[in-house]
Chain A
């Protein structure tokens, strides 16, 4: 009877120990907090299940005009590392402020090392932050993230490098595939009219010209927002180059581009993923998926007779 009693006591002591070791294991996972969906997707590809990746922006959300909520502060407070796009994509540097104000968390800008495109608006130069639209720049994002996660978890460096190498091969295939698809569009038809000026890197890589009524940002920064002059130029370009279709974006209101399409007498070619990826379960839920879907939408609309 005594031995049964001892076993019972031991069992009672063991249960909380099991529980605490499980929660310790959970807690051992380091947390990455990313500002945008693209950065979060690259991070997930690299860390796999070894770290927890959280993202502040959700699918279809606009990083230019985002205003952080109290939940974001709590998220950043729990972070071991914060990752952002950089080049002022995060309007008024909201990610930088969050990282600084919530425990001064280490923050990495994934665009460090990207050769930024200069956009000139009314005589002022702005660095284009939408660098991920060129898969060659996506390689720089991945490399920056690899270095950053190895910095906080050097023991698993080989694991992160191996995952990144595989992902970079997928980016190579993506780049070659886009190139092949775009080659179906006659050169004179490669004009991309979109809601806002986000596709310059894509255009530069695959030989398009870009026209947008809204500048690089939807916000009130220099070169941001829509001016009557920009809108007029877009309509003129559509008519001048006989552009067959225009596109609206998932993260920007479709109102302006629909009005422009009606005014210029062209079709709306479809919706493009721009500043954010798609909802879970959609074709655009990953970076590769969003690039593929954009390419198919663009090629389909611009090759239509």
Chain B
């Protein structure tokens, strides 16, 4: 009899723990969802365009103006680092960057689909003779989402590499049995 009661108590405790943890998890998602909807209340069309990401770019070389670039009307406007998506600039960095220094660009909006980002950076002429790398980190909600190192081909060439990514929808949009209320 005591064994039977003990087995029942253990089962109740286990089931209760699982049930509570499920509840806690769904409650958290629910709260986040509510917050997100609130923040985009005034601009619903923008929330459909995709999520915002943070790009962190760290070069292993001093990034400077491309010595083989066509002269621009305003030389201070020439990009040192450029990230583009379908021909549109997401990042257009016009200041020199020292090697090892990370630049962080917040609130980069990317569509929730397969995206192809083109990263371009120009090492200074001496560094460009050797292989150079650009570390690219993409964060969503402060959490690393993708991390890649892009290598140059050496021989004076700038880095010009494409990164393909399949951006999965954020947790909040997964169907977890919750009804999403349109504002």
Contact = CB atoms under 8 A, between A and B. Distances in A.
Contacts of A165: 70
Contact of B156 (A147, A164, A168, A179): A179
B79 interface: no
Contacts of A143: 70-71
Contact of A179 (B67, B70, B71, B129): B129
Nearest to A140: B71
Q: Which residue, of B67, B71, B155, has the highest number of chain A Cβ atoms within 10 A?
A: B71
Given A176-B156, A180-B155, A168 B129 contact: no
Q: Is the interface of A mostly helix, strand, loop or mixed?
A: helix
Interface in B97-141: 125, 128-129
Interface string A169-189: 101110111011000000000
B157 interface: yes
Interface residues of B, number: 11
A172 B122 CA distance: 12
Contacts of B155: 173, 176-177, 179-180
B156 A161 contact: no
Given A136-B125, A176-B129, A179-B129, A168 B157 contact: no
A146 to B, nearest CB: 7
B70 A172 contact: no
A136 B67 contact: yes
Contacts of A164: 70
Interface string B54-81: 0000000000000111110000000000
B125 A146 contact: no
B125 A168 contact: no
Nearest to A161: B70
B156 A172 contact: yes
Given A175-B156, A179-B156, A169 B71 contact: no
A139 interface: yes
B129 A169 contact: no
Nearest to B153: A176
Interface string A128-170: 0000000010010001001100000000000001001100110
Given A176-B156, A176-B157, A180-B155, A147 B71 contact: yes
B156 A169 contact: no
11 contacts: A136-B67, A139-B67, A143-B70, A146-B71, A147-B71, A172-B156, A172-B157, A176-B155, A177-B155, A179-B129, A179-B155
